[in-house]
DNA sequence: TGACATTCGTTCGCTACCTTGCGATTATCG
DNA sequence: CGATAATCGCAAGGTAGCGAACGAATGTCA
């Protein structure tokens, strides 16, 4: 969030933001032909790899608020990619399952790991480890401040 | 985007996302009492520090699409914080200026630099520099891929 | 058991990001 | 000069995030 002149002097926070958006944009662009958003992809990914899941657990795994996930799920249900049934035991919970169409779509989706490879492939292991450590520490410190309020 | 069990093994990309959202959440929480969103704050910040600006230039400085900025500005105009006039010269352009109310609000807003300080303060200079370099490189590589399409 | 608290999913209203497509204006070049 | 191209802002429609408030279901405890 600076003028382009001093692009070299951006802060760590600014680069974090730019990097996140660049990755997100590439993911969105890759998924657009399949009419899928990035978070919709994460839901399919989780269901495809972990099997049926209760909505609450999925929300925790993907770190999404209930309200956010509720909208995503209803979109996926409308597209017939996911089935949402009430899960016997606890009548408040909803069980999510990939539909046949959802499984079929999942099989034809491209592998997105090229994005992470493009971003961080070939970077020195130690530098990558440092980056992860710094970002993890920053995240934890910010979350601690958030909880204080 | 993993289960909580293996939170320690998140990738660099995942930590970038988490860190960005944590900072954004803290910013939003701090600005909420003033009924300002984070991007609205960036607009006020730019106008307060760089003086009146043409909408096109502001969009480039903040890296926002024209359509996105258009909505933000109309919100700020509705709140009487920003004035949008047609800038004599080029009749397509709009000149943005902080209103009196906007300047008054800006003066009473808290300093947000504590967020960056909380996240990255006290971290070893060399490690911070490495982090910035890795994120910058990843961003540029992703953007190059994006332009290819 | 019955009152109260908690959890789960939804809806509503908001911010903020995108693409597409439009009209108006301005720049360019044959 | 005039046709064409480029630029600027806006509107519409979609995705994705949030908080607040609500009903239904479930837990808890006096």
Report residue A27's pLDDT band, with 50, 70 and 90 as the boundaries: very high
pLDDT at A12 exceeding the cut of 70: yes
B107-142 pLDDT tens trace: 999 999 999 999 999 899 999 999 999 999 999 999
A107-127 pLDDT tens trace: 999 999 999 999 999 899 999
Residues whose CB falls within 8 Å of the CB of residue A21, separated by 6 or more in sequence, listed in order: none
pLDDT at position B79 over 80:
yes
Q: What is the pTM of this model?
A: 0.89
Q: Give the burial class of A113: count Cβ atoms within 10 A of its Cβ; 0-12 exposed, 13-18 middle, 19 or more buried.
A: exposed
Contact A118 B127 (CB under 8 A): no
Query: What contacts 24+ positions apart, CB below 8 Å, involve A64-68?
Result: A64/A39, A68/A39
**Distance from C-alpha of A49 to C-alpha of B132, rounded to nearest angstrom:** 33
The verdict on A133 touching B (C-beta cutoff 8 Å) is yes
Tens of pLDDT, residue by residue over A44-103, are 999 999 999 999 999 999 999 999 999 999 999 999 999 999 877 899 999 999 999 999
Q: Which two tokens stand for residue B70?
A: 């258009």
Contacts of A3 in chain B (CB under 8 A): 61
B residues 8-37 lying closer than 8 A (beta carbon) to A: 10-13, 15-20, 22-23, 25-26, 29
Residues 75-114 of A with CB under 7 A from strand D: 75, 89-92
Higher pLDDT, B5 or A46: A46
Structure confidence at residue A5 (pLDDT): 40
């Amino acid at each position: 969030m600076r003028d382009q002149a001093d692009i070299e002097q951006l802060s760590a926070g600014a680069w974090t933001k730019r990097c996140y958006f660049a990755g997100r944009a590439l993911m969105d662009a890759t998924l657009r032909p399949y009419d899928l958003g990035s978070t919709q992809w994460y839901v399919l990914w989780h269901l495809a790899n972990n099997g049926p899941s209760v909505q609450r657990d999925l929300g925790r795994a993907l770190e999404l608020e209930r309200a956010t996930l509720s909208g995503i799920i209803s979109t996926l249900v409308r597209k017939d990619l996911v089935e949402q049934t009430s899960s016997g035991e606890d009548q408040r919970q909803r069980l999510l399952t990939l539909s046949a169409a959802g499984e079929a779509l999942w099989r034809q989706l491209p592998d997105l790991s090229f994005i992470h490879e493009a971003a961080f492939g070939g970077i020195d292991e130690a530098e990558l480890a440092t980056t992860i450590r710094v970002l993890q520490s920053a995240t934890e410190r910010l979350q601690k401040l958030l909880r204080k309020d």
